[in-house]
Amino acid sequence: MHAIKRIGDVVTVAAAWLAGLAVVVMMCHVTADVASRLLMGKPLPGTIVLVANYYMVLIVCLPLAFVERLDQHIAVDVVTDRLSVRLRLRLRAAAWLFSAAVFALLTYAAWLEAVDKFARKAFVIEHDLALPIWYSYFALPLGCGLLSLYLLGKFVGYIAGPAVNDRDPARLSEQENSAHD
Amino acid sequence: MTDPQIASLLLLVLLGLLALRVPIGAALIAVPFVGIWLLFGWRPAIGALKGIPYNFAASWQLSSVPMFLFLGFVAYNAGLTKGLFRAAQVWLARLPGGLAVASIFGAAGFASITGSSVACAAAMGRIAIPEMLRNGYSHGLATGSVAAAGTVGALIPPSILLIVFGIVAQVPIGDLFLGGLVAGVLSILAYVVVALVWAMVLPSAVPRVTEAFTLKEKLATLRDVAPLLILAVLIFGGMFTGVFTPTEAGAVGSALCIVIAALYRSLSWSAFRVSVVETFVTTAAIFIIAIGANLLGRFVTLSGMDGYLSSLILSVATNEFLLLGAIVLIYLLLGMFLDPMGAMLLTMPILLPVAFQAELNFLWFGVFVVKLLEIGLITPPIGLNVFVIKNVVGASIPLETIFRGVTAFLVADLLVVALLVMFPEMITALPSLLR
């Protein structure tokens, strides 16, 4: 169980670092494009396609599981904060399972789309350049699939008991506090 | 049951899921999917899931979101924003309520480089509140002024909320930024008036600062903030005059900010790494909700609920003032429970058709909605900015004191809202003038 958790963590963090790399490369690329346009009157070819279809897709999709790991997916706490810790934890677990199912569905749909684009070798033409974009379609099922598995892991951890996932109320409120900081 | 009725029922299910603490993104993806499946079958439902999320994420226009976030995080984590309050303090301390006025201007300066209100309140709170308390300011004014001033973070450009509104409502982001700038400056002036009046009516609660600064000291503070302010003017000047697109402004701004921080030797590797992580975490958290809201919008249109709800709302709110009153109420209520981005994305699919039918100007409507959402950040029981300030001051000041301190600023906010309603040209004129 611990080995699976560790593998999950490593993959989640690796995917997040790719997204981080995309942030930095996107900044450099767009800045270079502006400099080239202003100084030499000629923008870099393919900037818009690379930004939209590659950097953005990577930044949005790949960190989804990492965001869950930090408990940073936005949710409404007002109502549940008034419940007992035990009930709150049960609701959290139910929400993990529910979200895991939702993102599994999204993974399935996004996978169908990616396979479709792969079969057609989808590309975009910018000026005279044909830029393949089908690769980037796989980022969405990858990111959503990871998130779904991560959520499922959290749920299984809850069901499997305190040995894997702390069910101690004090630890829960500690966790929640650190998530709010 | 008719289609719009089924759809309305599903909206209630959505609210139920949110109340049970299902993440907003997951709930917003699940409900429209089930809705489209129920009304039109499996294929269109899967079709919506196949197409919408990727197309939404792969957006050139929305790429300005991570770039502006990155700019704000780098500026903050490298400590470039630290000098803002100090500079305002040195120049304004001798005014009545001078430190509160300084923290309001400091927040405005911070807002010109970051697009988030909560970040703005947190940053200014850590620096300005201890200084005000040390000088014997009343706890209410010290905390209330910063909580309120932080709300201009999402009005003064860059503004992540305005960018996302612009994409959803198809309004040019540059125009929205100019409108937001006007509303932001108006709010700042209103808050300054509150601080001045507070100091004059209750001089005992707001002691005069006697510390005098020499001209040399005053000029020295400018050296610390000048690069940041010049950077803001360059980026937004370039954007408003059409030299940069919003994405380019954000990217070039981030790059220049890194260069400035490197020259000042204030950007450590760990500050840089934290900025990168905060950027993609915030971007992904926002986008998964935005993707869900987009799916909800598709479902609302397909089910005919937009027409149904619009005519329902417009049949109750028979004139423009009633309608705007209802919108103010909706956002103030939602703002009490939801974070601004969630509240905006959740309501846009329903309220944009209403605004369209009522022939409201979308540019004005966007700025108006963001101003209302920002007010929601300081209204009880859930005022995110107030919580942030509470987090900064710890146990020494109770939550109620902060909410009480905010009240006077809330009155000023409602006056600003009234001004926006009575003189909508204030928002719409500047972009058309510059065009």
Query: A173 pLDDT band (50/70/90 cuts)?
Result: very low
Reported as type and span, the H/E element at residue A126 is strand A123-126
Q: Which one, of A47, A51, A58, lies nearest residue B284 by Cα?
A: A58
Both tokens of residue A15? 């995917």
pLDDT at B224 over 90: no
Query: A165 pLDDT band (50/70/90 cuts)?
Result: very low
- Geometric angle at alpha carbon B236, from B232 and B239, rounded to 5°: 150
Closest CB to A80: pick one of B21, B54, B254: B21
Query: B208 pLDDT band (50/70/90 cuts)?
Result: confident
pLDDT at B326 over 80: yes
Task: Give the closest-approach CA distance of B228 to chain A in angstroms.
Answer: 18
Q: What is the pLDDT of residue B14?
A: 92
Q: Which residue type occupies A11?
A: V
Tell the residue number behind the tokens 């049960």, with chain if given: A90
- Which chain A positions have a beta carbon within 8 Å of B60's beta carbon? 48, 51-52, 56
Tell me what percent of the residues of chain B surpass a pLDDT of 90. Answer: 55
Judge: A31–B19 Cβ closer than 8 Å, yes or no: no
Residue-wise burial string across B207-220, b where 16 or more C-beta atoms lie within 10 A, e elsewhere = eebeeebeeeeeee
Judge: B46–A112 Cβ closer than 8 Å, yes or no: yes
CB A148 within 8 A of CB A103: yes
Closest CB to A56: pick one of B29, B63, B248: B63
* B62-83: average pLDDT: 91
Task: Give the closest-approach CA distance of B301 to chain A in angstroms.
Answer: 21
CA atoms within 13 A of residue B201's CA, in its CB half-sphere:
9
Reported as type and span, the H/E element at residue A124 is strand A123-126
Surface-to-core class of residue B304, CB atoms within 10 Å of its CB (0-12 exposed, 13-18 middle, 19+ buried): middle
pLDDT at A144 over 90: yes
* DSSP structure class, residue A123: E
- Which chain B positions have a beta carbon within 8 Å of A52's beta carbon? 58-60, 63
Query: B435 pLDDT band (50/70/90 cuts)?
Result: low
Beta bridge partners of residue A130, listed in sequence order: A125
Question: Which residue of A106, A152, A155 is the best one to mutate when testing the B interface, meaning the one whose CB has the most B CBs within 10 A?
Answer: A106
Can you spell out the DSSP letters for B83-148? Answer: HHHHHHHHHHTTSTTHHHHHHHHHHHHHHTT---HHHHHHHHHHHHHHHHHHTT--HHHHHHHHHH
Q: Locate the DSSP E strands across B242-395.
A: none
pLDDT at A94 over 90: yes
For A52-81, write each residue's pLDDT tens digit: 999 999 999 999 999 999 998 888 877 888
Closest CB to B281: pick one of A22, A70, A137: A70
Q: What is the pLDDT of residue A171?
A: 47
User: Rounded to an integer, what distance in angstroms lies between the CA atom of residue A62 and that of residue B279?
Assistant: 13
Q: What is the pLDDT of residue A161?
A: 77
Task: Give the closest-approach CA distance of A50 to chain B in angstroms.
Answer: 9
pLDDT at B103 over 70: yes
Judge: B21–A73 Cβ closer than 8 Å, yes or no: no
User: Rounded to an integer, what distance in angstroms lies between the CA atom of residue B388 and that of residue B191?
Assistant: 19
Tell me chain A's radius of gyration from C-alpha atoms.
20
Tell the residue number behind the tokens 């700042």, with chain if given: B188
Q: Which one, of B285, B417, B415, B274, lies nearest residue B342 by Cα?
A: B285
Q: What is the pLDDT of residue B114?
A: 83
**Closest residue of chain A to B24, computed from CA coordinates:** A75
Closest CB to A74: pick one of B24, B66, B382: B24
CB B253 within 8 A of CB B236: no
- Which chain A positions have a beta carbon within 8 Å of B244's beta carbon? 34
* A76-94: average pLDDT: 88
Closest CB to A27: pick one of B22, B255, B382: B255
User: Rounded to an integer, what distance in angstroms lies between the CA atom of residue B62 and that of residue A54?
Assistant: 13
For B130-150, write each residue's pLDDT tens digit: 989 998 999 999 999 999 999
The dihedral of CA B270, A180, A16, B28: what is its sign?
negative
Q: What is the pLDDT of residue A162?
A: 63
CA atoms within 13 A of residue B270's CA, in its CB half-sphere:
0
**DSSP helix/strand/coil, A121:** coil
pLDDT at B183 over 90: yes
The overall average pLDDT reported for chain B is 90
For A10-19, write each residue's pLDDT tens digit: 999 999 999 9
- pTM recorded for the entire structure: 0.89
Question: Which residue of A23, A26, A60 is the best one to mutate when testing the B interface, meaning the one whose CB has the most B CBs within 10 A?
Answer: A60
A16 in contact with B, Cβ within 8 Å: yes
- Which chain A positions have a beta carbon within 8 Å of B283's beta carbon? 59-60, 63
* B338-343: average pLDDT: 82
Both tokens of residue B124? 């200014």
For B360-392, write each residue's pLDDT tens digit: 999 999 999 999 999 988 987 777 888 889 888
